[in-house]
Amino acid sequence: MSDTAKNAPVIDAAEILEGILKWVEEESPSHDPDAVNRMADHVEESMAALGLDIDRKPGTDGFGDILTVRTPWGGDGPGILVLSHIDTVHALGTKEGPNMIRREGDKVYGPGIYDMKAGAYIAYYAMRHLIRQGKETALPVTFMYIPEEEVGSPTSREMIKEAGKANKYVLVTEPAREGGKIVTARKGRLQYEIKITGRPAHAGSRHIDGRNAIKEMAHQILKIEALTDYETGVSCSVGTIEGGTFTNVVPQECVITVDIRVPDMETGDEIMAIFEGLEAVDPDCSLEVTGGVDRPAYEKFDGIAKLFDQAKEIAAEIGFDLQDMKTGGGSDGNFTGALGIPTLDGLGADGKGAHTHDEFIYYSSLEDRAKLMLGLFEALD
């Protein structure tokens, strides 16, 4: 064996974990743009050290910056788009309390480690490993780091769509599912806000004059929750509710937010028609509905199937059997998949507990997932 071969860098799970934990240490809740931008600073510094081209657009509407990184090789033609989000659902301080950063055997805990800082770092590591070997990909690779995916990517979704259209393939570093499966189809997500306006009154002396907005909303909630049908793949969940002022006042207003997952957009159209047709049970109350499609559904079309087959072959060469699935969770891959762009999702680390204080990754998954990402970088042309 030559000295060059002996000194060639290897993919090292311990090295990967060290990098992941640095990213997890930089807590970045979606609604804290300063915290998200500190995370973006860290990513930008890491990518610039690789000699990649950096473009950073200032955040808008109270969200963090959108960071785009591109390899200097491959020209301006279509290539590979890697989508990662650097925001999390966890408040600052979670790493010191509810989900302390720690390792317990094969499990490594921390806020946002599974969803999805491990996956985001794995993609960076795979590119760094490629560059350390003095190699280039056949296609240009563009990395987009999204600052507000956990709240629906309101300021970045149009950029994601445009970037998707400019590329041949999209790789999304969301976490793996159910023991390492990747995602080749996703349900769509609808999101609504419903506001009821009633009539305030003294709850004791003039109760007869009041029209209780919370009571009216209770009728609407029962209708909405009844739309859930597990056989057809529809789930409808009232997630938040606000209403009333004082216990002794008949409440004038009540507001709820609703999350709906649909298996396809034909079903989505049917559900949207129901929401648009909602009417108050009490004619003295008014009802206002706002919302619609948050993320469109997409199925595993031919382009995704072929891309998955390539990934499955790469996994087999690494030494594991890669499986795929459709999931109800949404991601930025919904935007590109729905546009007909071959999209592989769930390429991040295996683990459990997304959006909980028991969130963790499996250390044993890191080497294989990095090798899979590296293999895709090298194989796609």
Q: How confident is the model at residue 175 (pLDDT cuts 50, 70, 90)?
A: very high
- What are the structural domain ranges in the chain? 3-187+297-379, 188-295
- pTM of the complete model: 0.92
- Residue 7: predicted pLDDT: 57
* CATH ID of 3-187+297-379, from 3.40.50.720, 3.40.630.10, 3.30.460.80, 1.20.1260.10: 3.40.630.10
Q: Are 104 and 166 contacting, i.e. CB atoms less than 8 angstroms apart?
A: no
- The residue-averaged pLDDT of 43-60 equals 97
By mean pLDDT, which of 2-11, 183-192, 299-308 is the weakest?
2-11
Q: Are 357 and 97 contacting, i.e. CB atoms less than 8 angstroms apart?
A: no
- The residue-averaged pLDDT of 358-374 equals 98
- The residue-averaged pLDDT of 289-305 equals 97
Class for domain 188-295, per CATH? alpha beta
Looking at 36-136, which runs of residues are DSSP E strands?
53-57, 66-70, 80-85, 102-104, 107-109
- Residue 236: predicted pLDDT: 97
Query: Around Cβ 271, how many Cβ atoms within 10 Å?
Result: 19
- Residue 104: predicted pLDDT: 98
Residue matched to tokens 């599974």: 114
Structure tokens at 334: 């919904």
- Residue 76: predicted pLDDT: 83
pLDDT digits (tens, 9 = 90+) for 24-34: 999 999 999 99
- Residue 74: predicted pLDDT: 85
Q: How confident is the model at residue 4 (pLDDT cuts 50, 70, 90)?
A: very low
Residue 11 phi, psi dihedral angles, 5° rounding = -75, 120
Q: Which helix (H) or strand (E) holds 73?
A: none
* Integer Rg of the chain from CA: 23
234 to each of 98, 188, 226, 275, 298, how far by Cα in Å?
A: 32, 10, 10, 14, 15
Task: Let me know if 34 is exposed, middle or buried by CB neighbors in 10 A (0-12, 13-18, 19+).
Answer: exposed
pLDDT digits (tens, 9 = 90+) for 312-333: 999 999 999 999 999 998 999 9
pLDDT digits (tens, 9 = 90+) for 208-243: 999 999 999 999 999 999 999 999 999 999 999 999
Q: Is the pLDDT of residue 75 over 90?
A: no
- Residue 20: predicted pLDDT: 98
Q: Is the pLDDT of residue 1 over 50?
A: no
**What is the C-alpha separation between 135 and 159, in angstroms, rounded?**
29
Q: How confident is the model at residue 35 (pLDDT cuts 50, 70, 90)?
A: very high
- Residue 8: predicted pLDDT: 63
Q: Across the chain, what does the average pLDDT equal?
A: 96
